[in-house]
Amino acid sequence: MKVLAMAVVALALSGTAARAADPRYPNWPCTQAKVPEISLAAVWAGPALDDAETKWKNDAKITALVAKLSARKTPMDEAEKSVKDFLAASSTDKTNNAKLLFAGLFDTLNAQRSQVMNGLERVSRKQREAADKIREETIQLQALQGATPRDETRVEALSNELIWKTRIFEDRNKVVRFVCEVPTTIDQRLFALGRVIQQELD
């Protein structure tokens, strides 16, 4: 009975995730609404980026700084200080460098978001397949347990398999819930760094 209870819990979690998903994106497993891309207007009120959107990759200093600022392991206070120090040293090219820097951050962080979100949807598809398999094997186990004569070897083997699959399913669900926060964290990082860049231009 414990095995069946575990399987029921796993399937309940699966059902909750499915109901919470945005119907426009059937594979999206998060309670947060899926926003495929960050809108430039939502995070930047500075000067028009123009050709900075493509030219930032040609500047070695900008690309190195973008890589550092985009890394989630870089603390936000350190990232904001790096932006201020870089722009303070820019003097004559301050506006241009600010545009290049933000264009790089916008491009890079949007790409990070897409990668995370695509990964979440891949895992969601696998979880749906796993839930179907658990459901099928739960029905098989119930049939084996009610059979006469009862094949204890097969009952035990299928029980152990269900325990293992259910635990994996539950562990993946925990990871998904954690990773669902990442796109929002990326949004917040881009917004905060964009704000610092704009403040340095004022």
Per-residue pLDDT, 102? 96
Per-residue pLDDT, 142? 86
Please report which helix (H) or strand (E) contains residue 162, including its range: helix 152-179
Q: Mind listing the pLDDT tens digit of every residue in the chain (202 residues)?
A: 455 555 555 555 555 444 545 678 888 999 888 888 888 988 999 899 988 989 999 999 999 999 999 999 999 999 999 999 999 988 778 999 999 999 999 999 999 999 999 999 999 999 989 988 888 888 888 888 888 888 888 888 988 988 899 899 989 989 998 999 999 999 999 999 999 999 998 7
Per-residue pLDDT, 21? 55
Per-residue pLDDT, 32? 86
- Classify 47 as helix, strand or coil: coil
Burial 160-179 (b: 16+ CB within 10 A, else e): eebeebbeebeebbeebeeb
Per-residue pLDDT, 93? 87
Per-residue pLDDT, 10? 54
Residue 196 is encoded by which pair of tokens? 């610092």
| CA angle, 198 then 199 then 202, to 5° | 90
Which amino acid does the sequence have at 199? Q
User: Which has the closest alpha carbon to 55: 66, 42, 44, 43?
Assistant: 66
